[in-house]
Amino acid sequence: MVGWFSGVRRQRRVAAWAAAFLLAAGVRVAPPAAGATVSRPEDMTVSGKLTATGGVTQVEGAAGGGLTPWAVIGGGGTREEVGATAFFTAVRTHDYGMNAYGALIGLWDRVELSVAQDRFDTQALGGALGLGDGYAFTNTIAGVKVRVAGNAVYDQDSWMPQLALGAQYKSNDRSSLVKALGARSGDGVDLYASATKVLLAQSLLLSGTVRLTKANQTGLLGFGGADDDYHAELEGSAALLLDRTLVAGVEYRTKPNTLARANPGLAPEDDWYDAFVAWLPGKNLAFTLAYVNLGRVVTPTRQNAVYLSLQAGF
């Protein structure tokens, strides 16, 4: 999301390790075609995309809003460039704390590869539940997203949004406990399709995602429960571009609630929603502050959370 068209400058610092990454992946970067009458730099350039067009990072590590992925490719690179970002997010409710961190690399505005780790800390409630104070669930997520069609920002003469398909492999480090609670598995794969559109004349961004998932609380409580089926869940974001560095919006994310149907001892899983403000003082930096309602998580208390996120680009 975000301060969108601002502070675009060529960044070369990341070129060396980005190139190493590409070599490791066995990908050959072709130099731009020679022969232009005005000489363009022959080396690969990095991170020339307009700010905000890569979004910030959602809790599972994909570029998007705070809760849900967008169809945009993160990292700020254009079709000729690669880019990378890293993020740290802290979520605090009355009972729980969650820290998430990770990084992503965007390749030629086409492919996004991401890794993230979400650590959900039960704090004192863990002791009350018999798990021990500060008992934590850690979910490690590897994601891939591919832009299939469209450009969210530039296709202003049509209603065609930017479309992307993505997958997130998630692995929970407490698989024996979540299975004891009724989950079928400690790891799983989410598949999603996203459509994102910037309505520039209205300074408005809209994004919607359909996610096929078995995850309980995004995977923090394992996968499957009363059934082991994929459930189609809807996620959406709407954001206003307030100025070149400020974006405010809301998000909603539905959840499948399969674990509580298998284990009546657990409170039902609720949808998540938030209201956020993101500030992008420069192209490579984003701060997001949000109020998030996580609904009931294990206990009947509704969890109102403060969400703070920092993203840095390279």
Partner 1 sequence: MPALPRRAALSLAIVLLGPLAGPLVGCASGPSADLYQTFGGQPGLVALVDDFMDGMMRDPDLRPYFVNANRPHIKAELVAQFCAILGGPCEYKGMDMKMAHARYGIGDHEFNALVQDLQDAMDLHHIPYRAQNRFLAMLAPYRDDVVHPDPPPRVRPPLTIAPDAVVVPETVPTGGPQNKPPPR
Cα–Cα distance for residue pair 106/146, rounded to 1 Å: 10
Find the shortest distance in angstroms from Cβ 112 to partner 1.
16
| Residue 231 engages partner 1 in binding (rule: CB under 8 A) | no
Q: Which is nearer to partner 1, 23 or 160 (CB)?
A: 160
Among 167, 242, 285, 310, binds partner 1 (CB under 8 A): 242
For the bound state, the minimum distance from the C-beta of residue 133 to partner 1, rounded and expressed in Å, comes to: 25
50 binds partner 1 (CB under 8 A): yes
Instruction: Name the minimum Å distance from CB 271 to partner 1.
Output: 6
If one asks whether residue 81 binds partner 1 (CB under 8 A), the answer comes out as yes
**Residue 181 within binding range of partner 1, rule CB under 8 A:** no
Rule CB under 8 A: say whether 157 interacts with partner 1: yes
* Binding window for partner 1 (CB under 8 A); candidates: 84-92, 97-105, 122-130, 265-273: 265-273
- The residue among 52 and 100 lying less far from partner 1, judged by its C-beta, is 52
Q: Does 212 bind partner 1 (CB under 8 A)?
A: no
Is 78 a residue that touches partner 1 (CB under 8 A)?
yes
- Contact between 155 and partner 1 (CB under 8 A)? yes
Place of tokens 């490690």: 140
Please tell me whether residue 264 binds partner 1 under the rule CB under 8 A.
no
Nearer to partner 1, 115 or 275 (CB): 275
- Two tokens, residue 229: 């089926």
Minimal distance, residue 239 CB to partner 1, in Å: 8
Give whichever of 137 and 276 is closer to partner 1, judged by the CB atom.
276
* Secondary structure (DSSP) of the chain: --S-S-----B-TTHHHHHHHHHHTT---PPPPS--SSPPPSSPPB--SPTTTT-EE-TTSSEESSSSB-SSPTTS--TT-EEEEEEEEEEE-SS-EEEEEEEEEEETTTEEEEEEEEEEE-HHHHHHTTS-TT-EEEEEEEEEEEEEE--TTT-TTS-PPEEEEEEEEEEETTHHHHHHTT-SBSEEEEEEEEEEEEEGGGTEEEEEEEEEE-BSGGGTT-B-SS----EEEEEEEEEEEEETTEEEEEEEE-----HHHH-TTSPPPPPEEEEEEEEEEETTEEEEEEEEEEEESSSSSEEEEEEEEEEEE-
| Binding residues for partner 1 (CB under 8 A) | 5-8, 10, 32-40, 45, 48-50, 78-81, 109, 153-157, 199-204, 238-244, 249-250, 252, 270-271, 273, 275, 293, 295-296, 300, 302, 304
